[in-house]
Amino acid sequence: MKILVSVKRVIDFNVKVRVKSDKTGVETANVKMSMNPFDEIAVEEAVRLKEKGAATEVVAVTIGPAACHETLRTALAMGADRAVHIPFEGETQPLGVAKALKLLVDQEKPGLVILGKQAIDGDNNQVGQMLAALLNWPQATFASKVEISGGSAKVVREIDGGLETIEVKTPCVISADLRLNEPRYATLPNIMKAKKKPIETFEAKGADMAPRLKIVKVEEPSGRKAGIKVPDVATLVDKLKNEAKVL
């Protein structure tokens, strides 16, 4: 079985995000970029499934400018067998990404597609669900455990009330949650090997990737006021009622 893993290049999670002076977006110039943390988990799970013998090939794919090659090479260093770049200049939005991935899935014909449940820049949590709908495939979102057996996938997923176990037939789409695994560190030899591996290009011709949403303005969150200490319960109730107006 072939596994297709989608990865995204985002601002590194350790970097403090700064808003542009014209408030049209966040500053990305001269900012450290890295693979989306949830996508790292997706790559790790695909590699583990291959190591268990449940998969024969892991293909990493990303959409964006040429700078995204760095993200693909990280996936190769982690254990992916091949890397595919879908060139696109400009803002990517969930529906456009799902449409482009569908065209690649139609060509590659994987038995399983794994994605991070969301990207930490947009926090949309939509691509996996949209891709499954476009493919008319079963989906298992927020996966915290995945087992492949025969022609089905048994997935433990996180829900508001705790954990839910479902079984879906393959091919299917799975989105990885935080507790699915802990991604490995790529070793130096693997990083050096990944630099020499070719990156394939796939032109998603026919995929309408035009943005549907327009960013009107981006602003920094308002600062919090310092807390205060109150001498007794009566004062606390008075402030909650008359100042905070939550009672």
Q: Are strands 112-116 and 2-6 parallel, antiparallel or unpaired?
A: parallel
Q: Give the pTM.
A: 0.85
Q: Is 136 part of any domain?
A: yes
Under 8 Å between Cβ of 22 and 7 = no
Q: Shortest CA distance to 81 belongs to which of 111, 104, 50, 37?
A: 50
Q: Is 246 part of any domain?
A: no
Q: Is 227 part of any domain?
A: no
The enclosing domain of 80 has a CATH number of 3.40.50.620
Q: Is 236 part of any domain?
A: no
Under 8 Å between Cβ of 85 and 202 = yes
Under 8 Å between Cβ of 7 and 61 = yes
Q: Is 233 part of any domain?
A: no
Q: Helices in the chain by DSSP H: which ranges? A: 37-51, 69-78, 94-108, 127-135, 188-196, 233-242
Confidence of residue 215 (pLDDT cuts 50, 70, 90): confident
Question: Is the Cα dihedral 37, 189, 83, 5 positive or negative?
Answer: negative
Confidence of residue 74 (pLDDT cuts 50, 70, 90): very high
Q: How many domains does the chain have?
A: 1
pLDDT in tens, 136-154: 999 999 999 999 988 899 9
